[in-house]
Structure formats: structure tokens, C-alpha cells
Amino acid sequence: MQVPLIRSILPNGLTVLLKEIHTAPIISHWIWYKVGSRDESSGHTGISHWVEHMLFKGTTTFPAKVLDKAISRDGGYWNAMTYLDWTTFFETMPADKIDLVLRMEADRMQNGLFEPEEVASERTVIISERQGGENEPLFRLSEALQAEAFQVHSYHHQVIGDMKDLQVIQREDLYSHYSTYYVPNNAVLAIAGDFESNVMMERIRELYESISTGPEPKRQNQMEPPQGSERRVTVEGPGETTFIQMSHHIPAASNPDILPLTVLDSLLTGPSNLNVFGGGITNKTSRLYRALVESELAISVQGGIHATIDPFLQNVTIILHPQRTVDEVLAVVDTEIRRIQDAPPPVDELSRAVKQARALFAYGSESISNQAFWMGYSEMFADYNWFLTCLDKLAAVTPKDVQRVAQKYLGIQNRIVGVYLPTGNGLDG
């Protein structure tokens, strides 16, 4: 039986989602801010991720080291993530210790310190993180491909930001970004676990209602125009391994086609569930695995799609067999895509792909933490009803649906092909 969700919007605009789950004495607390690399412009790329880091430096009431020790001592876990469209902070705690988290997150929504010495320290950390990525062939290839795919839209930039921006962003830039986007009317608070909803809501009102509503944040609104023809990008670097990434433009997660595309992705490259959690289901039954890996054209093939506010990409990543060429592999991929475009997949094959996609979705939705995740995550690109109806809509996908979206989105004119060519010196990342 589906546990009912309580939804409330405070006078200052904060959306609150509560779900009582009394299977274990724990509570998972997620606060989501509608800000990510989508909201950045050249000169300030990476700023959302940097602000996320700064919020772990504490406030006057909750100094960083004190807070970290307190959460660990109470048996809790906390972390954060920044992505294209959002930033989220999450904690899972014993139920009787949750008030610490409630007070802390309400405090750091408005009282982040952004001390100059901490800004300088984090600059070093984030630049080091960026440099680490630059040593990874797939990071370098993905960055080049994404930049080629989005020449107008702000999805052009990686979440980590461009090195030139990380070197010049100042404390005032960070604090302005924080003040603009970390406001209650730009946030969703999602809590699931062992609590009484009326008691929890009363406490949330006590802590959050005094926080002032901010102006509606400005958004990047330049949409990417249709591509029109295939684009290719080549990256050279150290290593011995050749990588291919192939991406096709696909619609936003709120578009009804996203679920047939999820099934198509499962059919081609293996189960995909739009979740940052998940995994654990083999992709050895997928068409591209059989066509590329079993025939020793490739070492591995993986794919995936993401739930985003604006249209993004369906990605396929291939590690080439040392004795094979890029053109050989691309020819086989083209053949497999045309097979689906020319004829709907057999019912039994589609049924297996749907079953795998639904299973992976379910696996990533079981725990209290994952349920709290989905409560807030779905609000970033649609609403919670999207999550509630997802499994039924996946089950309703037909062979004709899969053929239609393959024809509509997987055309050569709609794709970007990226190739990483190793120079032979150095090791692969």
C-alpha cells in the first residue's frame, strides 16, 4: 500500500513534503534548492557546486567541526550533491536525533558565513577536483561532447565549472549566488521516516516561517535550437584506450516520451532508471552488449539518460577493443539503431527491457532514504505524481512506442559523436 504524502507550502514559499514510514526508527531529511549549473553563465561556471561546499563550513550557531562530530556521534550520515538543475543536502539520522538536522538546515539556509579564508581553502580543493577530472579520459571526452551538444543552452558547462572561472570567482560572487538561490521559495524540504506528521510540521513552521521570501531567481532561458546535422569531436590524451561517447538530444523529463526512451535505453544498453542511486542489474541482454562486447568489438558498453528540466542527452559510452576501429564500432551501433527504427522490438524482448527498467526503478526506491530522495527529486523536474505513476507508465510502453521514439530522437542528424584517442604515453585514468 502506498504511504500517503503530506504536502504543504509555507507562507514564505517553502514546499514541505512529509511521508510517515514506521518500519525503522530512522528519518531521512533532504532539502533541495532549484539551482545548478543550468543557472550559471560564463565567468561564474562551477559556482553552484562551490556554494554547496561552502555550506559545509558551518555557521556561527553550527561551526563545521562541531556539527560533523555531532552527526557522527548520533549515528547519522550527511552529504550533498550539485547537478545540472539542483543542489541537495541530505541527512539520515536516528529518529530521536532529527532535531539537530532540522535546526542546522534552517540555519544554513540563511546564515552561511563564507569566510574569506575558507573560500580560499575551498578554491584549492575544487581546483584540485577539477584537475583530477582532467586526468580522466572520460571526463575530458564528456566535457568536450557536452560543450559541442549545447552551444546556446547553459547545459554547455560541466557542473564542476571551467578552470578559468574557478581561478577568479570571489567571495562576493559566491555569497550573491547563495543569497539569490538559497531562499525558501526556491526550496523543497522532503522528509520521510519514523515521525508524526503534525508534530514534524509544527517544528518545521517554528524553524522556517521566519525566513524571508526572496525575489524569484532569474533563470537562464536560452533554449538549444534543433541540431540539424551530426556533430563530431575528438579529444587526444594520455593512455592506451580508445573511448567513444555517442549522445542524442532527448526531451525534458516532464515530456511523456521520456519513459518510452527509458525503455529504449534499457533495450539498447541495459537498465536505466533516471536515479542517482541504483544499479545491480546486468546489461548483458542488451542489444549493444551482444553486438559489440560478445563479438569482441568493444570491451564494454554503457548507457543512460537523465531527468532534467530542459532537454538533455541520451548517452552511450563504449570502450573499444584494442584491435578494432572507431568506424567498425559506429557501423554496428548504427545497424542496431536502424533495426529498432525499422521494426518494433519483439514483445518478449520489450517485456524483458520493461521488467528490467521497472525493477531498477523499484530497487532505487525502496529504502527510507531513497523514498525521501524521490519525494524531492521528482519536484525538481516535474512533481511527486510523476514518481507515483512512473511504474505504471513504464509497464504501458508498447513496441510501437519504442520504435516511434527511436525514429524521432535517434537520427544521425540529432547526435554528437565524441572519440578519445590515446597518445600512448601515460596511464588511463
Question: Could you list the pLDDT tens digit for every one of the 429 residues in the chain?
Answer: 567 899 999 999 999 999 999 999 999 999 999 999 999 999 999 999 999 999 999 999 999 888 888 899 999 999 999 999 999 999 999 999 999 999 999 999 999 999 999 999 999 999 999 999 999 999 999 999 999 999 999 999 999 999 999 999 999 999 999 999 999 999 999 999 999 999 999 999 999 999 999 999 989 888 999 999 999 999 999 999 999 999 999 999 999 999 999 999 999 998 866 666 555 577 888 999 999 999 999 999 999 999 999 999 999 999 999 999 999 999 999 999 999 999 999 999 999 988 888 887 777 778 899 999 999 999 999 999 999 999 899 999 999 999 999 999 999 999 999 999 999 865 554
C-alpha cell at 69: 562530530
Write the CA distances from 280 to 107, 263, 277, 302, integer angstroms. 38, 17, 10, 13
How many whole angstroms separate alpha carbon 137 and alpha carbon 144? 11
- CB neighbourhood size of 372 (10 A): 25
Count the neighbouring beta carbons within 10 Å of the beta carbon of residue 385: 10
The H or E element containing residue 420 is: strand 415-422
- 3-class secondary structure, 314: strand
In terms of Cβ atoms closer than 10 Å to its own Cβ (0-12, 13-18, 19+), residue 238 is middle
Return the sign of the alpha-carbon dihedral for residues 375, 114, 168, 122: negative
Domains of the chain, earliest start first = 6-208 (3.30.830.10), 231-422 (3.30.830.10)
Three-class SS state of 315: strand
Q: Which of 233, 234, 231 is nearest to 422 (CA)?
A: 234
Q: What is the pTM of this model?
A: 0.95
Helices (H), 211-325: 258-269, 287-288
